[in-house]
Amino acid sequence: MAFQRRSFTRGDKMKRYFTGALVLTCVVLAASCGSSGADSGRKIVLGGLFADDVDPLSRKELYGVRMAVEDMNASGAFSLPVEVATRSPALGDVIDQQRVKDGVLELADVEGAVAFVSGHGGESSFTQNDVTNQQQYSNFVRCANTANEPTSNLPGFDARADYTDTFYRTVVDWSYHLDFGAWFFEQKQLFKIGLIRIDDQVGFLAMQYIRQKIEELSYKGFELVFDKAVSPGAFVLEDNRQWMDEIITLSQEGNVDVTVIVTFQAQTNDIIKYLTENGFRSVLFLNTSSTTTDLFTIATGIPNWLQTAGNEIYSLNPDNYHGPYGEQFLERFRQEFGEEPSPYSATAYECAFTLGLAMLYAGEPEPTRDGVWQNMKKFKESERTQDEVDVGIGADEFARAAQLIGEGKRVNFLGSSGRIIFDENGDRPNQGMCLYGPNSSVTAWEIKECYDENLQRL
């Protein structure tokens, strides 16, 4: 990827069947190591369930967490060293739900575990909830750093109806995706909508949201012309050829204006490859979970397909570098790791940094779950104070936050993606979105336009 102020190209090559079906989960742990030896001692461990071994995007999000840990240590704010430990949920090239569950359990059951960060994990949200919905883990704070979390709109799933102040996310929720999509489709006069979704709980929720939105806007002419569900496993062409041929025929008869694709990366490339190579006529609109960085390498027919009037392809992702520290983060990431960050490297950093601030607020010599759980709510909109002091990214800013908090003052974190504030459900409101399309050579994604929360072009 090559970031500019308002544009970047997503050029990473990714595993064909894995990219966005990946879980990124960071867990903040305060653990003790052995009691013998010169190097023994207690420490704070920032652990993670990352597919960084097979996925460049997850690896770059892990880099964001490492940057936050570096800043915590360099700040001198904690008497204990902070370290990073990781686990991978990958089984071959695909996500394995048992490995997700075992990984979260293994990290959550470590003595002193206090919180975790999750992202790129819409397909694993329910599996993670199998652990965190249990009462013994009800104070195990979760911070999500990507937008692929449709369950976050339902308090009973992620925010948890029985246990409050447990779930936070640093990106916009799905309701914004749908609002933006509906607005965008209306601007372009795209009213006949098709849906291709994953055949699981996440896809079912997506279908419910989209159907509801279409029904609300039916008076404007919106209608759902097809709804096709795809297996969450690796894509098998022969199992899906019949329904794809059906919608190709529908589109060629002029019955499809835009097709919303809510799959994971294990399916997206092959679906789009088949459709674009076999005469599908429609705008394709991808959400964050279905956006892959190797799409244009796999679906090589896209350049020719785009030559037909009415055929376009777009993707939607949050604008995570529009804040005052966006350029600073980008430059530091490039210098430190020698490559471009992912769209979510910044929010991974921000999740870790915010959890660190919650630990500072708790004022405990060794951070605990209860301390983080009780103090993360200070970043909720309902808990704001008039005398808060903004702090930015970096070790000096974390040290300044520690000093201010130690003096009894309140701080507000102003990260790369903007001010970190959560609503009553733990969702972050008022974040911009960027619309992506293929670059001029149709080899990678690049930002076409960015919009604020009021759908005003930035």
Radius of gyration of the chain (CA): 22
Q: How confident is the model at residue 1 (pLDDT cuts 50, 70, 90)?
A: very low
Residues in contact with 34: Cβ distance below 8 Å, sequence separation at least 6, in sequence order: 40
Q: What pLDDT does residue 395 have?
A: 98
Mean pLDDT over 67-71 rounds to: 95
Higher-confidence position of 93 and 211: 211
Domains of the chain in start order, with CATH, are 2-171+323-419 (3.40.50.2300), 174-317+431-451 (3.40.50.2300)
Residues in contact with 217: Cβ distance below 8 Å, sequence separation at least 6, in sequence order: 182, 186
Inter-residue contact 159 to 133 (CB < 8 Å)? no
pLDDT digits (tens, 9 = 90+) for 249-290: 999 999 999 999 988 777 899 999 999 999 999 999 998 777
pLDDT digits (tens, 9 = 90+) for 11-20: 333 333 333 3
Report the alpha-carbon distance of residue 70 to residue 395 in Å, rounded. 8
pLDDT digits (tens, 9 = 90+) for 18-49: 333 334 445 555 544 333 333 456 888 777 77
Chain mean pLDDT for the chain: 82
pTM of the model: 0.83
Higher-confidence position of 125 and 232: 232
- Residue 117 φ/ψ region, left for φ over 0, alpha for ψ in the -120 to 50 degree band, beta for the rest: beta
Which stretch of 171-175, 239-243, 380-384 has the lowest confidence by average pLDDT? 171-175
Q: What pLDDT does residue 172 have?
A: 64
Q: How confident is the model at residue 5 (pLDDT cuts 50, 70, 90)?
A: very low
* Dihedral sign, Cα of residue 119, residue 284, residue 12, residue 88: positive
pLDDT digits (tens, 9 = 90+) for 219-250: 999 999 999 999 887 889 999 999 999 999 99
In degrees rounded to 5, what are phi and psi of residue 44? -100, 125
Three-state DSSP string of the chain: CEECCCCEEECCCCCCCCCCCCCEEEEEEEEECCCCCCCCCEEEEEEEEECCCCCHHHHHHHHHHHHHHHHHHHHCCCCCCEEEEEECCEECCEECHHHHHHHHHHHHCCCCEEEEEEECCHHHHHHHHHHHCCHHHCCCEEEECCCCCHHHHCCCCCCCCCCCCCEEECCCCHHHHHHHHHHHHHHCCCCEEEEEEECCHHHHHHHHHHHHHHHHCHHHCCEEEEEEEECCCCCCHHHHHHHHHHHHHHHHCCCCCEEEEECCHHHHHHHHHHHHHCCCCCEEEECHHHCCCCHHHHCCCHHHHCCCCCCEEEEEEECCCCCCCHHHHHHHHHHHHCCCCCCCHHHHHHHHHHHHHHHHHHCCCCCCHHHHHHHHHHHEHHHCCCCCEEECCCHHHHHHHHHHHHCCCCEEEEECCEECCECCCCECCCCCEEEEEECCCCCCEEEEEEECCCCCEC
In degrees rounded to 5, what are phi and psi of residue 163? -125, 120
Q: What pLDDT does residue 175 have?
A: 67
Q: What pLDDT does residue 27 have?
A: 52
In degrees rounded to 5, what are phi and psi of residue 114? -120, -30
Q: What pLDDT does residue 427 have?
A: 80
- Using a 10 angstrom Cβ sphere, with 0-12 exposed, 13-18 middle and 19 or more buried, the burial of residue 154 is middle
Q: How confident is the model at residue 131 (pLDDT cuts 50, 70, 90)?
A: confident
Q: What pLDDT does residue 253 have?
A: 97
According to DSSP, the β-strands at 2-3 and 94-95 are unpaired
Residues in contact with 300: Cβ distance below 8 Å, sequence separation at least 6, in sequence order: 273
Q: What pLDDT does residue 154 have?
A: 47
Mean pLDDT over 147-155 rounds to: 47
Inter-residue contact 180 to 433 (CB < 8 Å)? yes
Higher-confidence position of 77 and 80: 77
Which stretch of 34-38, 77-81, 274-278, 326-330 has the lowest confidence by average pLDDT? 34-38
Report the alpha-carbon distance of residue 336 to residue 333 in Å, rounded. 5
Report the alpha-carbon distance of residue 339 to residue 63 in Å, rounded. 11
Q: How confident is the model at residue 164 (pLDDT cuts 50, 70, 90)?
A: low
Mean pLDDT over 327-348 rounds to: 92
Mean pLDDT over 79-95 rounds to: 78
